[in-house]
Structure 1
Amino acid sequence: MKLATIYHEDSEKAVLIKQETAYLMNHVNKATGKQWSEDLLLLLQKGEFHEVRDWYEKEGKNQLYPENGFSMNTVSFAPLFRHPEKVFGVGMNYLEKALELSGKPPEEEPVIFMKPNSSIIGTGETIQIPSQSPNVAGEAELAIIIGKTCENVKESDFWDVIAGFTTSLDMTARDIQNLNPRFLQRAKSFNTFCSFGPCLITADELPELSSLKIETILNGSVCHENVIANMMYQPAFIVSFFSQIMTLQPGDVILTGTPGSVLIQEGDVLECRITGFPSLTNPVKSHVHK
Structure 2
Amino acid sequence: MKLMRVGPKGQERPVILDADGIYRDISAHIGDLTGDKLGAETLTKLQALDLSTLPELDANERIGACVANVGKFICIGLNYADHAAESGLDVPSEPVMFMKATSAIIGPNDDVEIPRNSTKTDWEVELGVVIGQEAKYVEEADALDYVSGYCVINDLSEREFQIERQGQWVKGKSADTFGPIGPYLVTKDEIADPQNLDMYLEVNGARHQSGNTKTMVYGVAHLVAYVSQFMSLQPGDIISTGTPPGVGLGMNPPVYLKPGDKMKLGIQGLGEQQQTVIQG
Q: Report the 3-state secondary structure (helix = DSSP H, G, I; strand = E; otherwise coil) of the residue aligned with 2:30.
A: coil
- Give yes or no for contact 1:176–1:183 (8 Å, CA) kept in 2: no
For 1:145-189, what per-residue CA distance to the aligned partner results, in whole angstroms no more than 9, with x for missing partners? 000011011111122101000000011111223315644221112
For residues 38 and 158 of structure 2, the distance between their equivalents in structure 1, rounded to whole angstroms, comes to 38
TM-score by length of structure 1 reads: 0.87
The residue number in structure 1 matching 2:51 is: 64
Please point out which of 270, 275, 280 is paired with 1:282.
275
TM-score by length of structure 2 reads: 0.89
The residue number in structure 2 matching 1:7 is: 7
Determine if the alignment matches structure 1 residue 240 to structure 2 residue 225: yes
The residue number in structure 1 matching 2:17 is: 17
The Cα of 1:104 is off from its aligned counterpart by: 4.1
AA in 1 matched with 2:76: V
Please point out which of 164, 189, 193 is paired with 2:149.
164
As a proportion of its length, which structure holds more helix?
A: 1
For residues 124 and 24 of structure 2, the distance between their equivalents in structure 1, rounded to whole angstroms, comes to 31
Q: Report the 3-state secondary structure (helix = DSSP H, G, I; strand = E; otherwise coil) of the residue aligned with 1:211.
A: coil
AA in 2 matched with 1:125: D
Aligned length: 271
Q: Report the 3-state secondary structure (helix = DSSP H, G, I; strand = E; otherwise coil) of the residue aligned with 2:207.
A: strand
Which consecutive unaligned segments of at least 5 residues does structure 2 have? 249-255
Q: Report the 3-state secondary structure (helix = DSSP H, G, I; strand = E; otherwise coil) of the residue aligned with 1:285.
A: strand
List aligned pairs for 1:1-290, cutoff 5 A. Answer: 1-7=1-7, 11-19=11-19, 20-26=21-27, 29=28, 36-41=29-34, 44-45=35-36, 47=37, 49-57=39-47, 59-60=48-49, 63-65=50-52, 68-70=55-57, 72=59, 74-101=60-87, 103-179=88-164, 182-260=167-245, 261-262=247-248, 263-287=256-280
Runs of 4+ aligned structure 1 residues displaced above 6 Å come to none
Q: In structure 2, do the counterparts of structure 1 residues 206 and 13 end up closer, same or farther at CA, with 3 Å as the change threshold?
A: same
The Cα of 1:13 is off from its aligned counterpart by: 0.9
For 1:82-104, what per-residue CA distance to the aligned partner results, in whole angstroms no more than 9, with x for missing partners? 53110010011111110111x24
The Cα of 1:251 is off from its aligned counterpart by: 0.3
The Cα of 1:50 is off from its aligned counterpart by: 2.2
Aligned CA RMSD, in angstroms, stands at 2.1
Which consecutive unaligned segments of at least 5 residues does structure 1 have? 30-35
- Give yes or no for contact 1:82–1:117 (8 Å, CA) kept in 2: no
For residues 184 and 163 of structure 1, the distance between their equivalents in structure 2, rounded to whole angstroms, comes to 27
AA in 2 matched with 1:23: R
Q: What is the identity percentage for the equivalent residue pairs of Structure 1 and Structure 2?
A: 28
For 1:86-129, what per-residue CA distance to the aligned partner results, in whole angstroms no more than 9, with x for missing partners? 0010011111110111x243121122111112111112211111
